[in-house]
A and B are shown apart, each in its own frame.
Chain A
Amino acid sequence: MLIPTLRKEIQLLRRDPRVLVRLIVLPVLFIAIFGYVFNTDNSKQHEARPITVWNGAGGNGELITRALDASQMFAVVPAATARAVEDQVAGHQTAVGLIVPPDFDPMHGHPATLLLDPREPPQVAGPLRGAVVGVVTRAVLREAALPDVVAVRAPIGATSTLDELSSAFQLTVPGNAVLFGFFIALTCALSFAEERRSGTWRRLLASPVSTWQLLFAKLVPYIALGTLQVGLLFAIGAFGFGMPIGGSLPALAVLTVGVACSATALGLLIASLSSTEKQISSLGSVLIMIMGLVGGAMFPRALMPHVMQQVGLFVPHGWALDGYYQLIVGKGTGFADVAKPIAAVYGFAVLFTVIGVRRFRFDQ
């Protein structure tokens, strides 16, 4: 019963190119577009700020330029003369310039000179000035063993997994995989409606197969298809777009099967709430889009206001993405770390199935 139904559903789906578009082509397109959009943004933000430097002091000056480069905040652009630095800053070609004079000797009243573009507002000029002064001072006084006035570290707890993000694809691949993974619900619900419309459901009911077997055999192919789809999207993300996966792959697989289960169960639920293909198409796609939006598949929940973050936990998408982000962004994440998201996703599958089976009209 299971194998023949699986074969039949696959034969039917192969005839419908819309399914392939909805399940694979569209999500890959979305992953690529959003991935590249966010990636460009990131690289711009992470670009070091150019600082024009004339070093007239030889070895001491080199200490300074090396420290500036090493800070990753600045990229040193060497100038030929002190005058050139002056001209570039005055001409707004660069926001910061540094002149290290030949008689550079800060201990004896001969400091380097920092030039700041007067057009920069204080909230830019201030940190710039502080940063350059800090780096230069530390470089010059490296051996003087100054006591730390301010100790710096990352905050305890409350770190988002997204803080460790190393590629925008770590956001767009799970997001779109979950968003489009749930479209299997639509495909599944439509197949129930088609079975009813064509009258084949009646034939199935007349055959010596229990309604439970019937339901099971109808659902399993979509769980398999959903797992394959989401798995394929992750594979495309990893190999096609270079998305690093930091955590456990088996845990990722178990979570993915859970996502496919709850998506398929949602399909049964949608099929039990509406009977015509039109109803299912409209109700289903709106429902899936809203659930995706609320669950953070289009915009990460971590960046939403607190209340919206909580609302996202009322749909399986929110939990699934929590799990995926931890497994993909967090390094060395294992089963134990994602036990809650995995349990939640399977819980939703059970919930949808129970409601769906209760409401489903078998004898039609």
Chain B
Amino acid sequence: MNRDNAGPGQNGAAASDAVLELVGLGKDYGARTAVQAIDLVIRRGEIFGLLGPNGAGKTTTISMACGVVPPSRGTARIAGHDIRSDAFAAKRAIGLVPQDLALYDDLSPRQNLAFFGQLYGLTGAELARRIDWALGVAGLGDRAGDLVKTFSGGMKRRLNLAAGLIHQPTLLVLDEPTVGVDPQSRRHIFDSIRALQARGMTILYTSHYMEEVEELCDRVAIMDAGAVVASGTLAELRAQHGAGGLEVEIDGDGDAIAAAAAAAAPLGGTRTGAVLRFEPRPAYAPALAAIEATGAQIKRIGAQRADLETVFLALTGRGLRDA
């Protein structure tokens, strides 16, 4: 497995550039390990993607970093403040947008934002100004007085984002912020995130949709089963784990064919459904011959797509969706 390679020493980034540093951070729930021991550095101004299937441990990792869940091991520092020994300073620097909508349904957006803002010590004119700004970011200025329970899923998602922004944190942590939203709201959220990055905000974006991470993020860490299995820029990940292989779509008994191909030529192949994938090799002929020898029909041969799905597949042997 390719352990984290996003440390501050690489690419010449200074340690002071780090907005979030996780060192050996892990969590056990009883005998079950939700997160093993994560090392991760997020630098000022970047949009960092944390990609992984459901249950990979993304939310648990974020919860530990935000001081919501006490870690079983390791440390988390936000803007240089340790989440445990310097909790208030660390928490002030971080804005959490939880995976589940965390709003008071029986209050208006303005009342919600006022309450959350006051938790961070905002009052008076400053609070009012921030509320207006956050409502603007969420595109909810015209519905500020209505009750949240009358809102659509997408509107609630946008308000959820605004609530994490109200104190203008250094690091904004978004936990699957687009689950269950309409394309329009998703577009709005993406545009907001880019605008916030342009203002200098650092963003940690969690998702199990690789398309989102590919579209939005500068750097990515891929999580599976409580561990980071790879990290780097999209280009680095594709170069290391994705590109260049061969994809063969077949018609016939997948298991038998894959076994025959693997026996003929150990090409490090994986299979999902009727598609066999082979790592980049100088020669594929023995494998293809073995497939044809089983009597199966080859429907399509092509170059493997160089996307995060492929990277994840190469690393774990499973698709993101069926993981």
A residues whose Cβ falls under 8 Å from a Cβ of B: 1, 3-5, 7-8, 11-12, 15-16, 198-209, 363
Question: Can you name the residue of chain A whose Cβ is closest to the Cβ of B149?
Answer: A15
- Whether B138 is near chain A, meaning CB under 8 Å from some CB there, is no
Contact A11 B119 (CB under 8 A): no
Whether B98 lies near A203 (C-beta < 8 A) is: yes
Most B Cβ at <10 Å: residue of A4, A200, A203: A203
B91-A363 in contact (CB<8A): no
Of the listed residues B100, B102, B114, the one surrounded by the most CB atoms of chain A closer than 10 A to its CB is B102
Query: Is A202 a contact of B96 with CB atoms below 8 Å?
Result: yes
Asked if A363 meets B69 with Cβ closer than 8 Å, knowing A15-B106, A207-B119, the reply is: yes
The answer for the CA separation of A142 and B114 in the assembled complex, in Å, is: 82
Interface contact tally, CB-CB below 8 A: 75
Which single residue of chain A is at the shortest CB-CB distance from B106?
A15
For A209, list chain B residues within 8 Å (CB).
Answer: 119
Q: Which residues of A contact B111 (CB under 8 A)?
A: 8, 11
> Which of A4, A15, A199, A206 counts the most chain B CB atoms within 10 A?
A206
Please, which residue of chain B has its CB at the minimum distance from the CB of A16?
A: B106
Contacts of B68 in A (CB 8 A): 202, 205-206, 363
Most chain B CB within a 10 A radius of its CB, from A5, A202, A204, A207: A207
The CA-CA distance from A15 to B96 in the complex, in Å, is 27
Q: Using A4-B118, A12-B107 as known contacts, say yes or no to A199 and B100 having CB atoms under 8 A apart.
A: yes
Q: A206 to B96, Cβ gap below 8 A?
A: yes
Question: Residue-by-residue, is B29-49 near A (CB-CB < 8 Å gives 1, otherwise 0)?
Answer: 000000000000000000000
Bound CA span A204–B105, Å: 16
In the complex the two chains form, is A206's CB within 8 Å of B115's CB?
no
B residues in contact (CB < 8 Å) with A: 63, 66-70, 87-89, 91-92, 94, 96, 98, 100-107, 111, 114-116, 118-121, 147, 163-164
* A198, A200, A204 pick with most chain B CB within 10 angstroms: A200
The 23 listed contacts between A and B (C-beta, < 8 Å) are A1-B118, A3-B118, A4-B114, A8-B104, A11-B106, A15-B106, A15-B147, A16-B106, A198-B103, A198-B104, A199-B100, A199-B101, A199-B103, A202-B98, A206-B66, A206-B68, A206-B96, A207-B91, A207-B120, A208-B88, A209-B119, A363-B68, A363-B69
Bound Cα distance A240, B222 (Å): 69
18 new A-B contacts at CB < 8 Å, known A3-B118, A8-B107, A8-B115: A4-B114, A4-B115, A5-B115, A11-B107, A11-B111, A198-B100, A198-B105, A199-B101, A202-B96, A202-B100, A203-B102, A203-B164, A206-B67, A206-B94, A208-B120, A208-B121, A363-B68, A363-B69
Contacts of A202 in B (CB 8 A): 63, 68, 96, 98, 100, 102
List residues of chain B with CB within 8 A of the CB of A15: 106, 147
Q: Contacts of B63 on A, CB cut-off 8 Å?
A: 202
Leading 4 A-B pairs by shortest Cβ distance? A199-B102, A4-B118, A207-B119, A208-B88
Q: Which residues of A have CB within 8 Å of B118?
A: 1, 3-4
Our pick among B105, B115, B119 for the contact of A208 (Cβ within 8 Å) is B119
Interface residue from B70, B101, B147 paired with A198 (Cβ < 8 Å): B101
Minimum CB–CB distance for A310 against chain B, Å: 43
Give the chain B neighbours of A7 by CB distance below 8 A: 115
Give the CA-CA distance A3 to B115 in the complex, in Å: 10
Closest to A1 in B: B119
Which chain B residue shows the least CB distance to A214?
A: B119
Closest chain A CB from B122 CB (angstroms): 10
- B322 → A minimal CB distance (Å): 28
Closest chain-B Cβ to A98's Cβ sits at a distance in Å of 72
CA–CA, A53 to B228, complex, Å?
105
| Bound-state Cα–Cα, A209 to B115, Å | 13
Closest to B63 in A: A202
B70 interface neighbour in A8, A11, A16, A363, Cβ under 8 Å: A363
A12–B105 Cα gap in the complex (Å)? 9
Which A residues are in CB contact (< 8 Å) with B164?
203
Which B-chain residue is minimally distant from A205 (CB atoms)? B68
- With a cutoff of 8 Å between Cβ atoms, the chain B residues found around residue A12 in the complex are 104, 106-107
Residues of chain B within 8 A (CB-CB) of A206 are 66-68, 91, 94, 96
Q: In the assembled complex, which residues on chain B have CB atoms less than 8 Å from the CB atom of A207?
A: 91, 116, 119-120
Cα(A11)–Cα(B68), bound, Å? 26
Question: What is the CA–CA distance of A363 and B121 in the complex, to the nearest angstrom?
Answer: 23
Whether A208 pairs with B92 at a CB distance below 8 angstroms is yes
Chain A residues lying within 8 Å of B107, measured Cβ to Cβ, are 8, 11-12
Chain B residues in 8 Å Cβ range of A199 = 98, 100-103
CA distance in complex: A5, B107 (Å) = 13
Chain A nearest CB from B83 CB (Å) reads: 10
| Min C-beta distance of A362 to chain B, whole Å | 9
Find chain A residues with CB under 8 A from B106 CB: 11-12, 15-16
By beta carbon, the residue of chain A nearest B90 is: A208
Cα of A205 to Cα of B69 in the assembled complex, Å: 9
Say whether B119 contacts A4, CB under 8 Å.
Answer: yes
Q: Are B67 and A205 in contact (CB under 8 A)?
A: yes
Query: When the two chains form the complex, which single residue of A1, A3, A201, A208 contacts B87, counting CB atoms closer than 8 Å?
Result: A208
Contacts of B67 in A (CB 8 A): 205-206
How far does the Cβ of A99 sit from chain B's closest Cβ, in whole Å? Answer: 77
In the complex, residue of chain A having the shortest beta-carbon distance to the beta carbon of B67: A206
Which chain A positions have C-beta within 8 A of B119?
Answer: 1, 4, 204, 207-209
- B80 CB, nearest partner CB in chain A, Å: 16
Q: Which of A4, A203, A208 lies in contact with B163, CB distance below 8 A?
A: A203
| Shortest Cβ gap from B95 to chain A (Å) | 8
On whether the beta carbons of B102 and A200 are closer than 8 Å, the reply is yes
Contacts of B100 in A (CB 8 A): 198-199, 202
Partner of A203, one of B88, B116, B121: B116
Chain A nearest CB, measured from B273 CB (Å): 36
Distance A8 CA – B67 CA, assembled complex (angstroms): 23
